[in-house]
Amino acid sequence: RLEKIWLSIGIAMLIIFLAIVGISGFAMGMNPPTSDSAHGRIDPTKVDTTPPFDKPGLIQAGDNLYEANMTAYLFSFDPGEMEIPAGSTVMFNITSKDVVHGFSIVGTTVNMMVTPGEINHLSYKFDKPGEYLVLCNEYCGTGHEVMQARIIVK
Ligand code: CUA
């Protein structure tokens, strides 16, 4: 009888502990914009056939809200260019098909690692119109310097 009660308490504690770990992990993932958050696994060799990365690009997700599904690979980003209206928030989902790359948007605080096998998330609100340069900021090989993309905010 008493053992059962203690067992229940033990299980309850375990559940609470797991909930706290889960919530803090989630909160960290939501922490913009410099976190290297990674949720979800993806086979780097199957990126091209795994939605949404089989069709990289911009999807409108709401009013002034876009989802950018991107891939990084030696030595490019796909898509290499995207156009969004000023005032839009873009949720970036990006994965690498090969090695570790970087994803930084010049002139903003956006800066994260793009790791193979993981889907990296980050969102950013583009208030100012202009052309934003996306650079790889993790050394990834001979073409590292030319690995870039553009985001045009109108
Ligand atoms: Cu990719 Cu440096």
Residue 89 near residue 114, CB atoms below 8 Å: no
147 lines ligand 1 (CB under 6 A): yes
Could you tell me where the DSSP H helices lie in the chain?
2-30
Residue 135 near residue 142, CB atoms below 8 Å: no
Chain center to CA of 72: 11
In the structure encoding, which two tokens stand for residue 109, read together? 């605080």
> Which residue numbers in the chain have pLDDT < 50?
31-38
**103 belongs to a structural domain:** yes
Shortest CA distance to 37 belongs to which of 136, 147, 121? 121
**14 belongs to a structural domain:** no
The CA-to-CA distance between both ends of the chain, in Å, stands at 69
Instruction: Specify the number of domains making up the chain.
Output: 1
138 lines ligand 1 (CB under 6 A): yes
**84 belongs to a structural domain:** yes
Q: What is the predicted pLDDT for the residue at 154? A: 96
140 lines ligand 1 (CB under 6 A): yes
The CATH number of the domain holding residue 102 is 2.60.40.420
What predicted TM-score, i.e. pTM, was given to this entire model?
A: 0.73
Q: What is the predicted pLDDT for the residue at 28? A: 59
Q: Tell me the residue range of the domain where 135 lies.
A: 38-153
Tens-digit pLDDT profile for residues 18-45: 887 777 766 655 544 333 334 578 999 9
